[in-house]
Amino acid sequence: MACLFFAVSCKSQKGTTGTPDRYNTQVDSVLALMTLEEKIGQMTLYTTDWESTGPTIRKGYQEDIRKGTCGALFNSHTVAFTRQLQDIAVKESRLGIPLLFGYDVIHGYKTIFPVPLGESCSWDLAAIEQSASIAAAEAAAAGLHWTFAPMVDISREPRWGRVMEGAGEDPFLGSLIARARVHGFQGDHFNGTDKILACVKHFAGYGAPIAGRDYNTVDMSERTFRDIYFPPYKAGIEAGARTIMTSFNDLDGIPSTGNKWLLEEVLRKENNFTGFVVTDYTSINEMVNHGYAADDKHAGELAANAGVDMDMQGAVFQRYLKESIAAGLVSEKQVDEAVRRILRIKFELGLFKDPYKFSDAQREKAVVFAPAHLQAAREIARKSIVLLKNEDKVLPIANGKKIALVGPLVADRNNLIGEWRASGEGEKSVSILDAFQERAARDGFTFTHAKGCELTGDVTTGFEEALRNAQTADIIIAVVGEKWNMSGEAKARADISLPGMQEQLIKELVATGKPVVVVLMNGRPLTIPWIAEHATAVVEAWLPGTMGGLAVADVLFGDYNPSAKLTMTFPRHVGQVPIFYNEKNTGRPFDPNNGYTSRYLDMPNTPQYPFGYGLSYTTFTYDSMMVARKDYSFSDTIIATVNIKNTGSVAGEEIVQLYVRDLVGSVTRPLKELKGFEKIKLAPGESKKVTFKLTSKDLAFYTADMTFKAEPGAFWVMVGPDSERLQKKEIRLVQ
């Protein structure tokens, strides 16, 4: 049967389910026609059986769509496939309610951008928004309506494989990036055909699994949750994210998917979230393993009553919700509310007006892998590359140098695009070897290349060729790292050093006495103490995406002057984990002259590279910072200024950072907290004054009585190029 509903034009995504607006009337008119089974169908999300060669529809799902008992699908993309599925929903189901198509478009759909952790190191909100916006445009052109991104989970856990999907350890920067990504995906409205629904995930606290092991228990104080982990979710909601995904973990003993406090109190009541809540994959069912639900039916009741609107892949709502309603264990009113939220979003997207709105084969052809997208991917990959060490100014590579490219990632294309690659195709990315060959042909130089060893395993037979090449070179570029699937979901590592024989290869290259530049490609902070000490230069390129090889070459040859700064601390040793910059002081802060202070016997407390750290091919000096005055009232603006000068010989960008410390609080406070930054570009010899403005709101936190406010007293305001090299001024907030 064709769609029964009147055409609705989509003007605004705003409004709440509680506000009587035109969407509510339309939603109610649909709801009134629905059977309970059809309502539960809207709360049901299934994956298609997408295989490497293409999609298949399991008969079961096809039937579900036809019967109106499945309202949304994921892993269903391309115009051809989504059209085929939408046809069933619109033409063959009783009410013709259009399907919603979701997919994990995390860092690009086909044009793959650097992994989000890498992108976050650019601290470039406009570029990050652009990357999400391009991902949305490509995904929408391929028939998609909804991405399961951004992942905004703060993490202090480099062992956890999913740090590659996030924005690092800091709530302030993480919040700004969450906002940029949500806005990039969704824009201001869904009037056009290039924006898709964002899904802020994983709610909540998923980034803090005990021991870094994925899915593991999360246990933290409510204060830490609200001060550190919650802000990026909040920022995503405030940016208008229309959907939120629950997390797999339990939090203080309650699995997120059955956590009424999280979903009703924190999300909907405190933060006015009006979109719908989807579970993570079978996370309703998993509440049985958690020991929180007796069986799937019970788990479904807990989830529905906690405020879950849509069941991803668990089939629990579909199988049991009707029975639970009949038994009075879930109210039909609760179900109606969930269905209202879901239908409303389908209206907001304009799907009732045109269920095929996103489905246009011409557009798909023109938009996916568009040259402008590839160019943007190259730009942001360059902006994400962090220069960690550059002794003797060995980089950029000087003209005329004989180069030996060595390492398992030199010629590799597939690993560059990392995990959560959506529809990305590894073989279509540009490797470092490709980029060097292009340059060599253009600029007339020659170089050698050898693999040396694999990323994993203990085979060293390739060392000989690599070392032979190295002997005749002036400079060795060693490209090493992690496999693409060593980070991502379920990819925790207990040992976060370079896998396999790679470090041994580097040791032997260094032993040649030639300068060795180590280019790292990885999805998490690694422990690289030997390399940090002995390599001549270290470049953190992350898993840089489709255009990664070109971006790395741009940096190595100096066409792009690196400007990125780390958004996650690099430990010296995994035993230091969790290690993060915004720690507290303890009652016995480290004192080298006192053994009974907070320390390790066998390791410094300090990281290998701190949060906010990154070098440039030029140098910057910071003049003495100034604050406008010492005392400020709660309504004043606190102003801090600093002059920065480019003292080197090339133009460069610097990310100037501002931190604060609240010296005495009703609860203990971090030693420093990022509260501002500015990325400035300076020509050689040029200076610029950077002005930071803070208000008392920026100094607020959850106080002893759990109210969010600033407390009067003394603060340090600190400015510098990273979280360690800071100058400070003391100010006072007075009542």
- Contact footprint for ligand NOJ (CB under 6 A): 104, 148, 201, 280-281, 489
Least Å from the CB of residue 330 to ligand NOJ: 24
Nearest-angstrom CA–CA distance, 735 and 653: 39
Record the tokens describing residue 236, joined without a space: 């995503």
Residue 388: which residues within 8 A CB-CB, separation 6 or more? 532, 538, 539, 540, 570, 609, 613, 614, 615
Give the up-direction half-sphere exposure of residue 176: CA atoms within 13 A in the CB hemisphere. 20
The minimum distance between CB 481 and ligand NOJ, in angstroms, equals 23
Q: Which is nearer to ligand NOJ, 296 or 489 (CB)?
A: 489
- Smallest gap from Cβ 280 to ligand NOJ, in A, equals 5
Tokens of 192: 């056009």
Question: DSSP secondary-structure letter at 588?
Answer: S
Q: In whole angstroms, what separates CA 191 from the centre of its chain?
A: 26
* Residue closer to ligand NOJ, measured from CB, 280 or 301: 280
What angle separates helix 371-384 from helix 548-556, to the nearest 10 degrees? 50
CB of 279 to ligand NOJ, least distance (A): 9
Minimum distance from residue 619 beta carbon to ligand NOJ (Å): 41
Contact 259, 293 (CB under 8 A): no
Please classify residue 138 by burial: count the beta carbons closer than 10 Å to its beta carbon, then call 0-12 exposed, 13-18 middle and 19+ buried.
buried
Distance (Å, whole) CA 122 – CA 566 = 8
Residue 50 CB, nearest approach to ligand NOJ (Å): 11
CB of 104 to ligand NOJ, least distance (A): 5
Largest interatomic CA distance in the chain: 81
d(CA 517, CA 524): 20
Exposure string (b/e) for 196-230, b if CB count within 10 Å is 16 or more? bbbbbbbbbbbbbbeebbbbbebeeeeeebbbbbb
Q: How far apart are CA 476 and CA 479, in angstroms?
A: 10
Report the residue number whose CB is nearest to ligand NOJ: 148
Asked if residue 398 lies in contact with residue 474, where contact means CB atoms within 8 angstroms, the answer is no
Rank residues 281 and 352 by Cβ distance to ligand NOJ and give the closer one.
Answer: 281
- Closest CB to ligand NOJ among 203 and 581? 203
What helix, strand, coil percent values describe the chain, rounded to 5?
35, 20, 45
Q: How far is the CB of 281 from ligand NOJ (least distance, A)?
A: 4
Q: Are 405 and 448 in contact (CB under 8 A)?
A: yes
* Helix H or strand E segment including 128: helix 125-141
Q: Which is nearer to ligand NOJ, 98 or 488 (CB)?
A: 488
Query: Catalytic annotation on 280?
Result: yes
Nearest approach in angstroms of CB 103 to ligand NOJ is 8
Measured from the CB atom, the residue of 201 and 268 that comes closer to ligand NOJ is 201
Residue with tokens 């298949």: 56
Q: Got the DSSP string for 645-705?
A: EE-SSS-EEEEEEEEEEESS-SS---S-EEEEEEEEEE-TT-EEEEEEEE-GGGG-EE-TT
DSSP one-letter string for 452-519:
-S-SSSS--TTHHHHHHHHHT-SEEEEEEE--GGGSSTT---S--S--TTHHHHHHHHHTTTS-EEEE
List C-alpha distances in Å: 222 to 153, 215, 225, 663: 16, 20, 5, 22
Which residues are CB-neighbours of 558 under 8 A, at least 6 positions away? 395, 396, 397, 617, 650
Rounded least distance, CB 257 to ligand NOJ, Å: 12
**Rounded Cα–Cα distance for residues 417 and 413 (Å):** 8
Please report how close the Cβ of residue 116 comes to ligand NOJ at its closest, in angstroms: 12
Nearer to ligand NOJ, 214 or 465 (CB): 214
Q: Which is nearer to ligand NOJ, 148 or 580 (CB)?
A: 148
Residue 541 has phi, psi (to 5 degrees) of: -100, -5
Q: Pick the catalytic residue from 124, 153, 280, 296.
A: 280
**Residue 201 or 344 having the CB closest to ligand NOJ:** 201
| Residue bearing tokens 């246990």 | 219
- In this structure, how many other beta carbons lie within 10 angstroms of the beta carbon of residue 471? 12
Residue whose tokens read 């049991």: 320
Count CB atoms within 10 A of the CB of residue 689: 11
SS3 450: strand
From the CB of 234, what's the least distance to ligand NOJ, in Å? 19
> Among all chains, which residue has been given the structure tokens 């409004």?
15
Helix/strand/coil (H/E/C) assignment for every residue in 618-652: CCEEECCCEECCCEEECCCCEEEEEEEEECCCCCE
Residues classed as catalytic: 280
